[in-house]
Amino acid sequence: MLNTLVHNDWTITEPQISMFDDRLEILSHGGLPNGMTESQFFDGISKPRNTTLMRIFLNMGLAEHTGHGIPTIIKEYGKEVFEIESNYIKCIIPFNKEVVNKVENKNVGKKIGLNKTEIKIIDLLIENPNYTYEELAENIGVTKRTIERAFKTLQEKKLIERIGSNRKGSWIILK
């Protein structure tokens, strides 16, 4: 449900979350973000519309920004629980006691083995995917070399990826 808040287009209206005896329906306004394909959506590439809200949830330990939410839903329920239109995304989660018990036992909301610098880098890249190593180092209060090592680790963990050239490209959060 936090994803709904972070990915909803609030200029349209607030998201709708409806509970029924047999299902949960989540309607997020705005459709897919500009430039995102359905394939990227289903692969778990995260592109929050509300970066400030995402950063708040990350800092509170309520979100991970790992992009595994959609793939987890697909694994448990299939792609057919999603209805993607140009102006909204609807997800209908059927209630199933076995699945609910599995999800409750996971470490939802925990950081996934990232150090403080790596977490800060992801937080800042959510805010601005065009930050340079120097800007990040200054912002975080570490050396450029520390940033370079953290980026290498984040890329090895397949959490970030560079899109475009080193001069004109930007970073995207994959998971």
Is residue 110 scored above 60 in pLDDT? no
Architecture (CATH level 2) of domain 2-104? 2-Layer Sandwich (3.30)
For tokens 């359905």, the residue is: 38
CB 89 within 8 A of CB 28: yes
Per-residue pLDDT of 50-76, as tens digits, reads 888 888 887 777 776 666 778 888 888
pLDDT at residue 65 in the model: 62
Per-residue pLDDT of 150-162, as tens digits, reads 999 998 888 888 8
β partners of residue 37: none
Q: Which of 145, 83, 146, 98 is nearest to 120 (CA)?
A: 146
Distance CA 129, CA 139 (A): 14
For tokens 């018990």, the residue is: 101
Domain regions of the chain by residue span: 2-104, 116-173
From the CB of residue 66, how many other CB atoms can be counted at a distance below 10 Å? 19
Distance CA 140, CA 62 (A): 22
User: Hey, which CATH number is domain 116-173, 1.20.120.450, 3.90.1150.10, 3.40.640.10, 1.10.10.10?
Assistant: 1.10.10.10
The answer for residues whose C-beta is within 8 angstroms of residue 169's C-beta and 6 or more apart is 162, 163
Total number of residues shown for the chain: 175
pLDDT at residue 104 in the model: 42
What is the distance in angstroms between the CA of the first residue and the CA of the last residue of the chain?
A: 17
Is residue 17 scored above 70 in pLDDT? yes
Is residue 89 scored above 70 in pLDDT? yes
pLDDT at residue 99 in the model: 47
Distance CA 156, CA 150 (A): 10
Helix 69-77, helix 97-104: angle, nearest 10:
150
Q: Token pair of 33, please?
A: 């973000």
Selected residue with higher pLDDT from 172 and 143: 143
Least confident of 77-86, 95-104, 126-135: 95-104
pTM (2 d.p.) = 0.52
- State the Cα angle at 46 between 40 and 52, rounded to 5°: 155
